[in-house]
Amino acid sequence: MKNIFNKFFQKETNFVPAILFLVVLLAYGLLIPWMGFYWDDWPFAWFLQLFGPVEFIESFRPFRPFLGPIFQLTTTLFGGDPFTWQVIGLITRFLLSLEVWFVFRLIWPSQRQNLMWVVLLFTVYPGYQQQWVALTHVNQELIPLFFLLSSFIATAWALRNGRYAKRLTALAIILQAMGLFSTEYFFGLEILRFFFLLAIFAETIKNRKELLQKTGLQWLPYFIVWILNAVWIYAYHQSAAYSSYGISILSGTILSPLALGNEIITTLSLSGFQSWLGTFNIFAAIDGTVTQSIAFVILIFSTSAIFIVMRFSQIEKTEANADQDEHWGLWAVTIGLAAIFAGRLPSWAAGLPLKLEFDYDRFFVSIMLGASLFIVGLAALVLKEGKRKIVILSLLVGMSTAYQFSIANTYRRDWANQRNFFWQLAWRIPAMEENTALLTYELPLKYVSDLQLTAPLNWIYAPDLSDRDLPYVLFYLKTRFNSASLKADEPIQLQYRTVNFNGSTSNSVVIYKEADGCLRVLDPIYGNAETVPGANIYLVNAISLSNPDLIKTDRTDLVLDETLFGTEPTHDWCYIYTKAELARQQTDWKQVVKLYNQAQSAGLSASMPVENLPFIEAFALTGDTDMAVKLTGRTIKGQKPLCPALYTLWERISQIQGASDDVENILQDGCKP
């Protein structure tokens, strides 16, 4: 049996694709049936739905004009279904891993085991955590990276095989241009080609001067394209056509010795060490959740599988081979460091921070190749060869695989939360007047923000939009307004790629949602600042501008696309609450009471104390003061800071039907300091 395993594992074309596919599936693929759109996926899919694939040409013109054709081609072929793009993302990640393996096998053919470690770590590199923003990142980063790696393959293949050298060089240059000009993410990685050429020529050329001359001459045509790309990036960023991040390196601030030193330490620390060590955090506290249990199974299974594969595929080492491995370790650490900083160069030049958090972790996509090469080179130097190295690196790959699964689960939850938010919005706001801005401080959604949410908002409320004037926007107050002091009749304008919104602060509706609560529409009467104790000043100041009259309460034909928003959820408490708010807006107090009774019959109750307020008012105004008082006491007990809101609510009621001693007693007793 051992001989059979050895025979199978000695043939790389058998086990390499199999183990890579397994790792990709465990890390990224188990949850994709429950994944959706995130971040810029939403507007890209929305543009595609309304205007077709050709729209990407114009929408990318102010940012990355050579990226538009990639989006146009892929969306023409695959459409805009979220599940389809998750599958495409999975396939693309697998193909990238195969490319990295093929590149390194051409560069260092004698180092197949070390290179396999590099490929495995590259596949599950934990610093990059945006695999599931598939429509955006497959087109914007992974396909350009695929082109650049293909260019490296063509260059190395031409040198190793000798045949069709000129044709392969021409192909390599074309692929290089496609990888570099489409996006600036991988601009710095072209330096890797120089090191790869150096490594190949170093096998036969021992004279250092001759080696450098030969390498430089071979790299020259690629260097020319690289310089042309640098000139293009600079010229386009300085032109009037460009509208995005500037080149902060031109300011000189980030070139100071202190800033440079800090950047070097931060980049190396985050990409070379913290990103790997951070994977152990998923087991820092054993909580017994399903996610952690599955992650633990993935850890054990992937670590064991990789250990077995790498153990059986190990070649007997000689002293000469050991020396060669140590020499390769120096190469790997050196080139890995160069690749880390080269990968960081574009985002650093734009003045963007490198962080292990969404959405800054996207910058690690250009760093993960160098970081993987660096850590394996370090292992070759420190751990040498043997079982200890295999155990440690197998554990690192296994931990990273389990970690990526845990991150995937946060995306799954966020997709469910997005859908839940939009269904609650549809229940509470069946229609809106055009040119309405929804304002909120922030929503409990991790992987999507205000500009991205504007796309599904219009998808729901303006599904037949055919012009370039947006009827609705959703803005985060904390990012879209310069001051916490908002005034009426101030213009709200947005130019988002090829569409525009023109509105006013007086034509706005303020919404609010806590992670554990239901969606609320705030207003100066029923949802004033007293109902959101401790809220941010931006939100508090915006409440006076909120105009619920912009909500059309007589519409009942709102339809949500099931592919995007799922089927209508079970009518839980938040359905009851949002419909009660809608009835309160119409002063239909009997309907509010009816809804509460439905909730009681179904065993439902408020998820947060503030959600009792419309029912307190409804019971009081329909004659059931006892129930109103009971709910008041329950609300005070659940959230005492709501006392000012309750005082205001009962003052409003007393102006209609007089005061109640029971109410005064419960307010005085419950709200006293």
**308 compared with 419, residue with greater pLDDT:** 419
Whether residue 427 is predicted with pLDDT greater than 70 in this model: the reply is yes
Q: What integer best gives the mean pLDDT of the chain?
A: 90
**148 with 12, same domain?**
yes
Residue 245 has pLDDT above 80, yes or no: no
State residue 375 phi and psi, 5-degree precision. -70, -35
Q: Which of 536, 553, 570 is the last residue of a domain?
A: 553
Main-chain phi, psi angles of 524, to 5 degrees: -65, -15
Beta strands in 225-355 (DSSP E): none
Over residues 141-180, the pLDDT tens digits come to: 999 999 999 999 999 999 988 788 899 999 999 999 999 9
In this predicted structure, what is the pLDDT of residue 484? 67
Q: Concatenate the DSSP letters of all residues of 496-559 into one string.
A: ETTEEEEEETTSEEEEE--TTS--EEE-SSSS-GGGSTT--HHHHHHGGGB-GGGB-TT-----
Is the Cα torsion angle 377, 379, 380, 382 positive or negative in sign? positive
Model confidence pLDDT, tens digit, residues 596-619: 999 999 999 999 999 999 999 999
In a domain, 440, yes or no: yes
Per residue, the 3-state secondary structure of 99-161, as one string, reads HHHHHHHHHCCCCHHHHHHHHHHHHCCCCCCCCCCHHHHHHHHHHHHHHHHHHHHHHHHHHHH
Q: What is the mean pLDDT of residues 647-663?
A: 82
pLDDT surpassing 90 at residue 43: yes
Question: What pLDDT was estimated at residue 317?
Answer: 43
* 277 and 231 in a common domain: yes
Q: Please check whether residue 319 lies inside any domain of the structure.
A: yes
Q: Compute CA distances 671 → 78, 644, 649, 658, 666, whole Å.
A: 60, 9, 14, 21, 8
* Domain identity same for 490 and 405: no
The count of structural domains within the chain is: 2
- The residue-averaged pLDDT of 365-382 equals 94
pLDDT at 7: 56
Cα 101–Cα 103–Cα 104 angle in degrees, nearest 5: 70
Lowest mean pLDDT among 93-107, 158-172, 320-334, 406-420: 320-334
Which domain covers residue 265, as residue numbers? Answer: 2-412
Asked whether residue 424 is assigned to any structural domain, the reply reads no
Is 342:191 a contact under the CB 8 Å cutoff?
Answer: yes
Q: Which of 671, 423, 670 is nearest to 569 (CA)?
A: 423
Q: Which of 529, 553, 577 is the last residue of a domain?
A: 553
Q: Which residues pair with 440 in a beta bridge?
A: 476
pLDDT band at 4 (very low <50, low <70, confident <90, very high): low
308, 382: one domain: yes
Residue 119: its pLDDT value, please?
A: 96
The secondary structure element, H or E, covering residue 380 is helix 368-382
The 10 Å Cβ neighbour count of residue 662 is: 15
Distance between CA atoms of 186 and 421, rounded to whole angstroms?
Answer: 36
Contact 427, 575 (CB under 8 A): yes
Q: Cα-flanking dihedrals φ and ψ of residue 358, to 5°?
A: -70, 135
Report pLDDT for 237: 81
Residues 256 and 365 in one domain: yes
Give me the pLDDT at residue 101, please: 95
Give yes or no: residues 376 and 436 share one domain. no
Q: Peptide bond preceding 554: is omega within 30 degrees of 0, i.e. cis?
A: no
How high is the pLDDT of residue 286? Answer: 80
Tell whether 374 and 516 lie within a shared domain: no
- Looking at the structure, tell me whether residues 266 and 312 fall in a common domain: yes
Q: Are 180 and 290 part of one and the same domain?
A: yes
Output the six-digit token pair for 235: 């010229």
With 0-12 / 13-18 / 19 or more C-beta atoms within 10 angstroms meaning exposed / middle / buried, residue 198 is buried
pLDDT at 478 over 90: no
Percent of the chain whose pLDDT exceeds 90:
72
pLDDT of residue 106: 93
Residue 320 has pLDDT above 90, yes or no: no
Say how many C-beta atoms besides its own lie within 10 A of residue 525's C-beta. Answer: 11
pLDDT of residue 163: 81
Q: Which residue has the tokens 């990295």?
A: 100
Q: Are residues 14 and 46 in the same domain?
A: yes
Mean pLDDT of 17-36: 95
Q: How confident is the model at residue 247 (pLDDT cuts 50, 70, 90)?
A: low
**pTM for the complete prediction?**
0.93
Q: Among residues 109, 281, 79, which one has the least CA distance to residue 199?
A: 109
Domain contains 639: no
Torsion of CA 198, 199, 202, 207, to 10 degrees: 40
Does 450 reside within a domain?
no
Query: Phi and psi of 472, rounded to 5°?
Result: -140, 150
Give the pLDDT confidence score for residue 645 in this predicted structure.
92
Burial class (CB in 10 A: 0-12, 13-18, 19+), 49: middle
Q: For residue range 538-559, what is the model confidence (pLDDT) as tens digits?
A: 999 999 999 999 999 887 778 8
Q: Which residues neighbour 82 within 8 Å (Cβ) at sequence distance 6 or greater?
A: 35, 36, 37, 41, 45, 134, 135, 563, 564
- Are residues 382 and 438 both part of a single domain? no
84 or 284: whose pLDDT is higher? 84
437 phi-psi bin (left φ>0, alpha ψ -120 to 50, beta other): beta
* Domain end residue (candidates: 553, 584, 608): 553
Of 135-139, 310-314, 367-371, the least confident: 310-314
Give the pLDDT score at 667. Answer: 84
Q: Are residues 166 and 220 in the same domain?
A: yes
Q: Is 598 inside any structural domain? A: no
Judge whether 113 lies within some domain.
Answer: yes
Flag whether pLDDT at 250 surpasses 70: no
Burial of residue 510, with CB atoms counted within 10 A of its CB: 0-12 exposed, 13-18 middle, 19 or more buried: buried
> What integer pLDDT is reported at residue 319 of this predicted model?
42
Residue 249's pLDDT band, with cuts at 50, 70 and 90, is low
8 burial type by CB count under 10 A (0-12 exposed, 13-18 middle, 19+ buried):
middle
| Phi, psi (rounded to 5 degrees) for 522 | -95, 150
Pairing of strands 508-512, 436-440: parallel
In this prediction, residues 100-126 reach a mean pLDDT of 93
**581 located within any domain:** no
